[in-house]
Structure 1
Amino acid sequence: MLDRTQTPLASLLRRRRPGYSLEAPFYTDPAIFAADMEAVFERTWIFVGVEPDVPEPGDVMTLDIGRNAILIVRDDDMKVRAFHNVCRHRGARLVHEDKGTVGNLVCRYHSWTYNLDGDLIHAEHMGADFDPKCHGLKSVHLRSLEGLLFVCLADEPPADFDDMAAAMGPYIAPHDIRNAKIAYTHDLIEPGNWKLTMENNRECYHCGANHPELTVPLFAYGFGFAPEELDEAEREQAARYGCLVTDSHGEWERAGIPSRMLEHLDDMVTGYRTERLPLDGDGESHTMDTKAASRIPMGRFPSSKMGGLHFWTQPNSWHHFMGDHAVCFSVIPLDAERSLLRTKWLVHKDAVEGVDYDLQNLIDVWMATNAQDSELVGFCQAGARTSAYQPGPYSPHTEMLVDKFCNWYVQRMREHFDPAGGPL
């Protein structure tokens, strides 16, 4: 627990200047990193994976969120559950592998055994007065949003998850995540504070100069631009793109596919943003030729040209859903200056690698983009360590969503550490 009487955190939060990046300690100070874990990652809904991570009864996966070890398991009734990955005897870790399949959950230390509902069903030599019902696994709040898994470590999780799920369910449902499989998972340790990773994701100001692969399927105008700085030809291109978005939204929504932008990035605890955007070229997928990477569609669509649905959640995820595959990203903080970026590529569960899709073609665009972004995050982290760093202004045309991420972060921190500090 952060010592609230000895830290300058409250004053740093109060003097945060909207429209500007955060002060250096927010990216470098281990004490503020600990505060982030307490106020954000232990109190809000965190994206951790997808139902295809645990497709069958007994399938289990593990992850760490700061000091908390979590396991996610599918029980015999096909329900997905989350528990603290801690034996109730003497605290040993129960499941040691990232993924596996179990009949029951058995502690290797003293063989205490739990069923997939978390009940203690075997504990030798504990005496006649021992009540196993009092020693089941400690549960963790878990919600599935059309196959996307979120956990919350708080005793009382934010209730507005239901509002987000009601709005987003119709957008994600056509992609049928529950009937997908994970084609590939990649873990990348980024050399920067988790907020720098998220800030980098929340803008495409940097895309044209740094992401030649990503800007093949994605239009340059999809995430903001300064109209007064465009020449005549660029203004015409931007206008054509605007018409394409409007026409595409109308066509997709007439087909029953929700597409229009919804944004609640800094006015909800469970903040989110979504929009379905057209893709360039053949317009089918995030691939180098913009054509579908998998021959088997992943979902129910009237056309192969359904653009890309993007979905962002605060504080730690973004997703891209196409007609043939999906890509899900999660960020888990490791320490003040390192973050884990986990990327999962999903295809239909019946798609066969080498027959229905080429794995390299499936992952090329985002493998390259992730590596480029990791380097950029490292540049920012190195700068934040220097004496010359000071908060810089965000572009009102291309970085407004970065500002909303920082607004959301400061609100969560002040609610927890500075509730008497007055209006935000």
Structure 2
Amino acid sequence: MLDVTPTPLQRLLRERRPGYTLAAPFYLSPEVFEADMEIIFGRHWIYVGVEPDVPEAGDVMVVEIGKTSVAIVRDDDNAIRAFHNVCRHRGARLVHDEKSTVGNLVCRYHSWTYDLTGNLIHAEHMGPDFKKSCHGLKPVHIRSLAGLLFICLADQPPADFDEMAAKLGPYIEPHNVRDTKVAFQKDIIEPGNWKLTMENNRECYHCGANHPELTVPLFAYGFGFAPEEMDEHDRANAERYGCLLKTRHGEWEAEGLPSKEIDELDTMITGFRTERLPLDGEGESHTLDTKAACKRLLGNLTSAKLGGLSVWTQPNSWHHFLGDHIVTFSVLPLDTERSLLRTKWLVHKDAVEGVDYDLANLTGVWEATNDQDSELVGICQQGVASPAYEPGPYSPHTEMLVEKFCNWYVGRMAAHLGR
């Protein structure tokens, strides 16, 4: 008789209570972590960087996803390609630095040499029967969404990338990612499971008490509230914000800037969400005075007062597109209890540091916020490890996107493992 006894992970997925946090093993179990790496990070589209990470022919960027190393390269025809960062001879790592520039990809072990399209072009002493054409680099699926780079390690990636790109592309294109440069990148290791990092990002319930810098440019009302708990003053401000949002959306869309919410976070395999939100104060950028951080605006934009376009993609990214700069975030799991948060600040490619922008002002709000969030993720990791931990309820007013992240995660795991 066929054994249909569910595995421990299948039982966890079946028992997940909607509207509540995940059970402790989802954050603590090495077996769950391995399944996450195989199913979520091994079979879905993962955000890894931007086209300006490899701006010129021969530029290479290396991304590590678990045990897999991927080299992303711009070839001589200006196409961006991705390959497993493994020599086809004896498996040595080909590219060792995160960023480099090469003529060809040369393995330092035995000098096997590959061109920028992945073809093996030089391999000495292999005999007359050796066929170089059979030993090219193994390709990795890579797609660009208006300049944002996504890779998929699976043989057959999810087929809905084009649908996501068709919906998100018009929102992102006015900011012209391809015509920017990476002004600064900062990597921090958060002391928590990658899902805790993502859950923390998907809500601003915690913002008022923990992010004094971030809540200067951002309206708290843009991330949910409980109207029945507000006093007259707060209710009036929330109503004012609602009117402002409706007015700004109409104005921005009339200017050719798509702004209204699209939410497919838990309804598609490649889940995503976007919306352009007003900013407080001067309303130009994510800075402490809410004014533009860079004098050189992006693309063909003529005003910095365009709010902040927020973009979220499952399973590992969020992004903020302003009139003057862009901030992108990616989360890559390191082990059960550590995650790499990689943040990039992009400005117009011709902007000059010290002339058009001050780096400390450009990065200040999100550097502070990232450090604060890292600490919060750490105390959550400590908490879920306690025997006293049990799943708690999400706020229906402010943690809707956390619930959608968990819905997406549980759904994708169950789709591959069966319930």
How many angstroms apart in 2 are the aligned matches of 1:153 and 1:411? Answer: 20
Q: Which letter does structure 1 place at the counterpart of 2:194? A: W
1:38 matched residue in structure 2: 38
How many angstroms apart in 2 are the aligned matches of 1:82 and 1:53? Answer: 13
List aligned pairs for 1:84-123, cutoff 5 A: 84-123=84-123
List aligned pairs for 1:7-406, cutoff 5 A: 7-406=7-406
How many angstroms apart in 1 are the aligned matches of 2:300 and 2:43? Answer: 35
How many angstroms apart in 1 are the aligned matches of 2:206 and 2:299? Answer: 32
How many angstroms apart in 1 are the aligned matches of 2:265 and 2:349? Answer: 32
8 Å contact kept, 1:189–1:339: yes
8 Å contact kept, 2:297–2:303: no
How many angstroms apart in 2 are the aligned matches of 1:300 and 1:249? Answer: 19
How many angstroms apart in 1 are the aligned matches of 2:328 and 2:147? Answer: 11
- Specify the SS of the correspondent of 1:198: helix
Per-residue deviation, 1:302: 4.1
Structure 1 residues 351 and 5: CA distance shift in structure 2, 3 A: farther
8 Å contact kept, 1:181–1:349: yes
Q: Could you tell me which runs of 5 or more consecutive residues in structure 1 were left unpaired when the two chains were aligned.
A: none
- Specify the SS of the correspondent of 1:71: strand
8 Å contact kept, 1:299–1:324: no
8 Å contact kept, 1:255–1:302: no
TM-score computed with the length of structure 1 as normaliser: 0.97
Per-residue deviation, 1:301: 2.3
How many angstroms apart in 2 are the aligned matches of 1:309 and 1:417? Answer: 35
- Specify the SS of the correspondent of 1:221: helix
How many angstroms apart in 1 are the aligned matches of 2:304 and 2:72? Answer: 34
How many angstroms apart in 1 are the aligned matches of 2:95 and 2:239? Answer: 54
How many angstroms apart in 2 are the aligned matches of 1:164 and 1:64? Answer: 24
Per-residue deviation, 1:67: 1.2
Per-residue deviation, 1:7: 4.3
Per-residue deviation, 1:366: 0.1
How many angstroms apart in 2 are the aligned matches of 1:397 and 1:157? Answer: 34
How many angstroms apart in 1 are the aligned matches of 2:60 and 2:222? Answer: 38
Identity over the aligned pairs, expressed in percent? 72
How many angstroms apart in 1 are the aligned matches of 2:297 and 2:304? Answer: 8
Per-residue deviation, 1:303: 2.3
How many angstroms apart in 1 are the aligned matches of 2:312 and 2:181? Answer: 21
Q: Which letter does structure 1 place at the counterpart of 2:263? A: E
How many angstroms apart in 2 are the aligned matches of 1:345 and 1:325? Answer: 7
8 Å contact kept, 2:92–2:109: yes
How many angstroms apart in 2 are the aligned matches of 1:6 and 1:89? Answer: 41
- Specify the SS of the correspondent of 1:20: coil
Per-residue deviation, 1:416: 1.1
- Specify the SS of the correspondent of 1:360: helix
- Specify the SS of the correspondent of 1:332: strand
Q: Which letter does structure 2 place at the counterpart of 1:99? A: K
8 Å contact kept, 1:189–1:341: yes
How many angstroms apart in 2 are the aligned matches of 1:337 and 1:27? Answer: 7
Q: Which letter does structure 2 place at the counterpart of 1:169? A: G
Deviations 1:201-229 (CA, angstroms, capped at 9, x unpaired): 00000000000000000001011000100
Structure 1 residues 5 and 187: CA distance shift in structure 2, 3 A: farther
Deviations 1:206-262 (CA, angstroms, capped at 9, x unpaired): 000000000000001011000100000100000000000000000000011100000
How many angstroms apart in 2 are the aligned matches of 1:18 and 1:39? Answer: 21
Per-residue deviation, 1:5: 7.5
Q: Which letter does structure 2 place at the counterpart of 1:119? A: N
- Specify the SS of the correspondent of 1:222: helix
How many angstroms apart in 2 are the aligned matches of 1:320 and 1:305? Answer: 14
How many angstroms apart in 2 are the aligned matches of 1:140 and 1:413? Answer: 22
- Specify the SS of the correspondent of 1:164: helix
1:414 matched residue in structure 2: 414
How many angstroms apart in 2 are the aligned matches of 1:253 and 1:299? Answer: 17
Structure 1 residues 396 and 148: CA distance shift in structure 2, 3 A: same
Question: Alignment RMSD, CA only?
Answer: 0.9
Per-residue deviation, 1:357: 0.3
How many angstroms apart in 1 are the aligned matches of 2:100 and 2:406? Answer: 37
The 4+ residue runs of structure 1 with deviation greater than 6 A are none
Q: Which letter does structure 1 place at the counterpart of 2:254? A: R
Q: How many residues are aligned here?
A: 416
Per-residue deviation, 1:300: 2.2
- Specify the SS of the correspondent of 1:305: coil
Q: Which letter does structure 2 place at the counterpart of 1:374? A: S
Deviations 1:317-368 (CA, angstroms, capped at 9, x unpaired): 0000000000000000000000000000000000010011000000000000
How many angstroms apart in 2 are the aligned matches of 1:362 and 1:249? Answer: 26
- Specify the SS of the correspondent of 1:344: strand
Per-residue deviation, 1:58: 0.1
8 Å contact kept, 2:211–2:369: yes
- Specify the SS of the correspondent of 2:23: coil
